[in-house]
Structure 1
Amino acid sequence: MSEIKKRRDLYQEVTDKIVKAIETGGMANWVRPWSDVNEPGLPKNGSSARPYSGVNTALLFITAHERGYGSTRWFTMKQANELGGRVRKGEKTTPVYFFKMLESAKTDAGKDQKGKGNDDKPRMVPFLTEYRVFNAEQIDGLPLSENIPQPEWSPNKAVQEIIARLQPQIVHGGNRAYFSPSQGDGDYGLIKMPYRGAFNSEFDYLGTLLHELGHWSSGPLKRQLGARGTDDYAREEIRVELFSVLMARELNIPMSIENHTVYMDSYIKMLKSDSREIFRVAKDAQKICDYVMGRFVPEMEVSPDAVPVVMPAPVIDTTVQPVNPVVKALIASSIKRASRKPKSGYAQTEPTAAEPALTM
């Protein structure tokens, strides 16, 4: 009798990689300023230019650090070939994970796998799968850093624009940096910062401010914090540490990621007991980053081969001529509202209940 191949647990594979990376060097190794890399920004699909998100960002950080890649572009074999590139012989692939929507399996009794009844309509559920990619530095025939435009803005200006748009309440003074959801006159709590002169460099100040801004986002994003010493507290610290990594890469800020031993030890235990924990926290960190940067990114990864290299621009027909002038006015008003760009990718919401202050 042939031996049945054991089904792979992709969640566990991802968790094992993250745990190993944290235990051997922490998140600090994932932050490399652009002076050390060939291309700016977060890891992205080299064909569509779509940034990776969630746990994939962390996994590609890890691989780039371990193998010394300076490029942020990643391609499937098919994409590399279509663009005239050729993967060098002997190069290893890197797995990237995404969700496919599949029909839920049903039992003979007409119930799904969780035992819940269902009608004749198929129920779609997300299914974790993977595809394999190569870094641009593993491929011959592709343009590298000489054709990649460099950013023209300064990190300080970028952070100032973020603060002006989000308008958190920030008070300077003292010798501690922390966020308190129960203090201040702002809608979502108070960020307390030492004066700029108390920091060793401008980057230290900006990195600390962004870290506390990550905690501040718990208000508008309605995130549970928790008391010091609890799993929720440790989870929030790791969530914001990962957010800090994302922001450091986006804004070219050489942050000093703290790698708090107490939080890391506690969180590693949580990861080892729940293989889906890192997916939730990475998703939260990405959500904070998208909110702070003022954009909206779909929550679920898609297969890169499913995304065309050039996305066609949508064509909107606004030439409707209704007979009734009242209807015509309503349609015009609706089109005008739909054309407005939101100030942020997420709506402002009511603040959460007061929780203990979160510090660096």
Structure 2
Amino acid sequence: MPAESAKSRPNIYETITAKIIAAIEGNPGEPVLPWQRGGLTPVLPTNAATGNAYRGVNILSLWVTALEHGYESGLFATYKQWSALGAQVRKGESAAPIVFYRELEKAKDGADPADPDATETIRMARGYWVFAAEQVDGYVLPGALPPDPIDRIAAADAYVAATRARVVIGGARACYRPSTDTIRMPDEARFFGTDGRSRLEAFYGTLAHELVHWTAPETRCARELGARFGDDRYCAEEVIAETGAAFLCARLGIAAEPHPDHARYIGHWLTVMKADSRAVFTAAAKAQEAVTYLDGLQQHARQLAA
């Protein structure tokens, strides 16, 4: 499938949303975000040609594809990009959908063409199709040693410290309190490890979720928090926090920890996604914005230390 444009294909929003819905509903038992099953540590998807990490909803689309087919490299590229690398996509392989945006200048409705402010910038989505490194011949996967578990935890601890978020240890429940702008976390001893996730990974995976909530205030990323469990804004914020935490954990090489209320609000979110094919794009974009904000604090901390 050499063609890269999605012009002749179904709406790219519907295509990617349907793929994510199918992956959530395909889990036996309670609904769960597919990249958080069984203590998995998904690799952050990266373009094999440019070396750039994918962002936002593209991460989710490629994670779903990788989990569905067992791809472990995290490397993807378009048909043309693989060809430029000297590789050949094998005949019969299916591509994964991603989306990119371009900004266009458009005349405002009813505006005077002579008015210098008569145009506005709009974002246009365009779908592309990419293949994993496991689907091509003629490409040698780069060898890489897995990071040491102790180094991963140290990196996670340093990442949180660089944000200067106030984290209070104690109690039985993890939460972010907007009234005091604090994150409350149970002691590490209250967390349990599994075959795929250590006790400390469970702690930092949960802390990553609360750290994304911490970015919500007006002075940071300006997201509206829901007033009560079950309302649309609450569920949307929880999905943003879970998604942002998954992005963070993938970056740090630790397994994400599903929130205790995960199944209940994911069930609600499924209904939202089925009614609005752009909802998951918005949530993923806000999750990416939160992670980008937190990443910016890392750079600021390094500058202060220099």
Fold shared by both chains (TM-score > 0.5): yes
- Matching residue of 1:196: 188
- 1:69 and 2:67 correspond: no
Cα distance, 1:52 vs. partner?
0.6
Amino acid at match of 2:165: P
Task: Return the letter of the residue paired with 2:153.
Answer: N
Q: Is the 8 A contact 1:101 1:125 kept in 2?
A: yes
Shift of 1:255: 2.5
How many residue pairs are counted as aligned between the two chains? 279
Aligned match for 1:177, one of 139, 158, 174: 174
The answer on whether the counterparts of 2:43 and 2:72 sit within 8 Å (CA) in structure 1 is no
Is contact 1:234-1:263 (8 Å) kept?
yes
Cα displacement (A) at 1:119: 1.7
Which residue type is aligned with residue 241 of structure 1?
Answer: E
Q: Does residue 1:223 correspond to 2:223, yes or no?
A: yes
What SS does the corresponding residue of 1:137 show, helix, strand or coil?
helix
Note the C-alpha offset of 1:149.
5.6
Aligned partner of residue 26 in structure 2, secondary structure: helix
TM-fit CA distance, 1:122:
5.7
For structure 1, the 5+ residue unaligned runs are 107-111, 184-188, 297-340, 345-360
Distance 2:52 2:167 in 1: 34
- 1:97 partner letter: V
Find the counterpart in structure 1 of residue 16 from structure 2: 14
Secondary structure of the residue aligned to 2:100 is: strand
Q: CA deviation at 1:295?
A: 7.2
Q: Which amino acid aligns with 2:203?
A: Y
The two structures, once aligned, show a CA RMSD in angstroms of 2.8
Distance in structure 2 (CA, Å) of the matches to 1:71 and 1:261: 29
CA contact (8 A) 2:16 2:97 kept: no
Question: Among residues 121, 125, 130, which one is paired with 2:127 in the alignment?
Answer: 130
Q: CA deviation at 1:150?
A: 4.4
Q: Distance in 2 between matches of 1:122 and 1:293?
A: 33
SS at match of 1:294: helix
Larger Rg, first or second structure (1 or 2)? 1
The residue type equivalent to 1:92 in the other structure is: S
Q: How far apart, CA to CA, are the structure 1 residues paired with 2:10 and 2:94?
A: 20
Which AA in structure 2 matches 1:205? Answer: F
8 Å CA contact retained: 2:24, 2:34: no
Specify whether residues 342 and 118 from structure 1 end up closer, same or farther in structure 2 by C-alpha distance, changes over 3 A only.
farther
Retained in 2: the 8 A contact 1:41–1:251?
A: no
**Could you say if the C-alpha distance between residues 123 and 216 of structure 1 is closer, same or farther in structure 2, counting changes exceeding 3 Å?**
closer
Q: CA 1:118 to 1:242, structure 2 compared with 1: closer, same or farther past 3 Å?
A: farther
Helix, strand or coil for the counterpart of 2:243?
helix
Cα deviation for residue 94 of structure 1 reads 1.5
| 1:156 aligned onto 2:153 | yes
Q: Corresponding residue for 1:239?
A: 240
Whole-Å separation in 2 of the counterparts to 1:169 and 1:99: 36
| Paired letter, 1:119 | P
Q: Please list every run of 5 or more consecutive structure 2 residues that lacks an aligned counterpart in the other structure.
A: 1-6, 193-198
**Aligned-pair distance for 1:343?**
4.3
The Cα shift of 1:161 comes to 1.1
Alpha-carbon distance in 2 for matches of 1:169, 1:102? 41
Greater shift in the superposed pair: 63-72 or 77-86: 77-86
TM-score by length of 2: 0.81
